[in-house]
């Protein structure tokens, strides 16, 4: 399983395959987990979620940005999506990767771009989540978050439970809206836990810490054992249901998503869309190897 995960993570970083995938359309089974390649098709998916009492966090997919021109194009696409959220009147916010808007080009340049995005979102009363990427980008992401929080309150980020430093980071961000995840990148044992059980234990620990802070908590997991433990914990501690939400990825455990919303829990689905879907999809295959059969069947059928 470890070899399979490493294989698909390596594929996710292949720029040649990523470029080719833009020409394929949503093939290899990607259409199951990516909500279309344009705003209109994605918004229809968001409307369906809203009809079931589920909100959305929208990710306008894009990776391998190496020039200012590419970063500006990505920024404009994100601003267009923000405007569409307002025009369509859907219950949604946005998740943004800082590398997509120039973090690997120039720090100050990317900060300027995200400031423009967060300012536009604030005018629409829309929240912006800074997606956390690999460990190499972690501190820069937190530095940008710190700069944004001096001026805006409609911004937060993601904390990954497999990193040793995450408990300290949560303590430093206890008043901030955070999405808590286990972690999807392959990191070294110097900076991250490697054992699944240890990661699960730390994940629950971090969830419980942030649930008892003043910051809103987004619990992003498909693990029903963790979900049940969270339910029991919030009931025991009388934690208000409006102080947290569950999150899952678009296309995964859709019936459970609906059931949790029906039970009265706030629920948000992570909705990726766009032509630049390849790297995102490879990481999903790395996390859930059972989807490989689906991808292979789709590939063979083409």
Cite the active site residues.
Answer: 131, 179
Q: Are 33 and 241 in contact (CB under 8 A)?
A: no
Long-range CB contacts for residues 188-196, cutoff 8 Å, separation at least 24:
188/135, 191/135, 191/163, 191/164, 191/165, 192/135, 192/162, 192/163, 192/164, 193/161, 193/162, 193/163, 193/164, 194/162
Question: Hey, is 263 helix, strand or coil?
Answer: coil
Q: Give Cα 238 distance to the centre of its chain.
A: 28
Q: Which residue has the tokens 């059928």?
A: 301
Q: Are 155 and 117 in contact (CB under 8 A)?
A: no
Sign of CA dihedral 60, 63, 66, 70: negative
Identify which of 175, 237, 241, 161 has the alpha carbon closest to the alpha carbon of residue 210: 175
Enumerate residues 6+ apart whose C-beta is below 8 A from 213. Answer: 170, 174, 175
Q: Are 172 and 146 in contact (CB under 8 A)?
A: no
Question: Hey, is 273 helix, strand or coil?
Answer: strand
């Amino acid at each position: 399983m470890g070899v399979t995960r490493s294989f698909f993570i390596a594929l996710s970083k292949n720029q040649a395959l990523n470029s080719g995938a833009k020409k394929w359309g949503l093939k290899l089974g990607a259409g199951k987990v990516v909500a279309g390649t344009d705003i209109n098709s994605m918004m229809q998916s968001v409307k369906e979620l809203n009809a079931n009492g589920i909100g959305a966090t929208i990710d306008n997919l894009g990776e391998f940005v190496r020039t200012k021109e590419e970063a500006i194009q990505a920024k404009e696409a994100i601003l267009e999506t923000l405007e569409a959220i307002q025009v369509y009147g859907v219950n949604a916010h946005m998740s943004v990767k800082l590398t997509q808007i120039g973090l690997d080009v120039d720090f100050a340049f990317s900060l300027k771009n995200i400031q423009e995005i967060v300012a536009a979102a604030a005018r629409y009363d829309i929240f912006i989540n800074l997606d956390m990427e690999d460990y190499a980008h972690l501190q820069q992401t937190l530095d940008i978050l710190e700069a944004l929080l001096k001026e805006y309150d409609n911004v937060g980020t993601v904390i990954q439970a497999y990193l040793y430093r995450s408990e300290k980071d949560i303590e430093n961000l206890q008043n901030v809206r955070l999405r808590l995840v286990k972690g999807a990148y392959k990191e070294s044992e110097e900076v991250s836990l490697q054992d699944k059980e240890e990661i699960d234990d730390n994940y629950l620990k971090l969830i419980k810490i942030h649930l008892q802070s003043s910051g809103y908590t987004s619990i992003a997991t498909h693990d029903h054992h963790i979900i049940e433990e969270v339910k029991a914990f919030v009931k025991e501690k009388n934690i208000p249901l409006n102080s947290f939400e569950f999150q899952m990825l678009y296309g995964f455990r859709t019936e459970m998503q609906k059931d949790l919303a029906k039970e009265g829990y706030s629920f948000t689905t992570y909705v990726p869309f766009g032509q630049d879907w390849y790297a995102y999809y490879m990481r999903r295959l790395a996390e859930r190897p059972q989807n490989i059969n689906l991808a292979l069947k789709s590939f063979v059928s083409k």
